[in-house]
């Protein structure tokens, strides 16, 4: 039986699992990580488990997209300066810039408003990375203002959007 043209066009683009590497920093917003990963596992075509121990180069090869959520001020400064003194910053430094890297800043409002922060975020964007902007709200420390990590649903929606454009994955 010959495949028809209409059947070929209607075939979903998800022929394999896609891998998202989630980087986590020391921000208090890391408390949202279990919920974020749980929601990411619901994305069609997403990985379900990872069992092999790997180094930073193996991780860069394995992942189709990298998500750093939350990205704290310390790691933002390291990445913007090219410092790679831990596994996360080594993976980012070795990242294939033909693949998407999304980052979700999260820090205290005073840190967010410091002039160096805008420079560092600009540097990451100049590297070709995509910012999922922080939001204003009451922070865990009690301060009110910008600096909170974007909401989990916002992050997941952005991952889906980038995967659909970059990898041809259909959103559900």
Q: Do residues 96 and 64 lie in contact, with contact meaning Cβ atoms separated by under 8 Å? A: no
Which among 146, 154, 59 has a CA at the least distance from the CA of 109?
146
Active-site residue flag, 141: yes
CB atoms within 10 A of CB 68: 26
C-alpha R_g of the chain: 17
Which one from 84, 104, 134, 141 is the annotated catalytic residue? 141
Give the C-alpha separation, 14 to 82, whole Å: 35
- Residues labelled catalytic: 141
């Amino acid at each position: 039986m010959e495949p028809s043209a209409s059947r070929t066009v209607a075939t979903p683009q998800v022929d394999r699992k896609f891998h998202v590497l989630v980087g986590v920093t020391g921000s208090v917003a890391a408390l949202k990580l279990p919920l974020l990963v749980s929601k990411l596992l619901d994305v069609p075509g997403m990985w379900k488990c990872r069992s092999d121990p790997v180094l930073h180069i193996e991780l860069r090869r394995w992942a189709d997209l990298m998500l750093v959520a939350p990205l704290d001020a310390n790691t933002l400064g390291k990445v913007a300066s090219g410092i790679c003194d831990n596994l996360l910053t080594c993976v980012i430094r070795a990242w294939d810039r033909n693949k998407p890297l999304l980052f979700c800043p999260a820090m205290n409002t005073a840190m967010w408003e410091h002039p160096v922060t805008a420079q560092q975020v600009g540097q990451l964007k100049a590297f070709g990375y995509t910012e999922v902007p922080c939001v204003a709200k009451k922070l865990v420390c009690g301060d009110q203002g910008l600096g909170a990590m974007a909401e989990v649903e916002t992050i997941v929606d952005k991952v889906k959007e980038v995967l659909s454009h970059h990898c041809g994955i259909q959103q559900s």
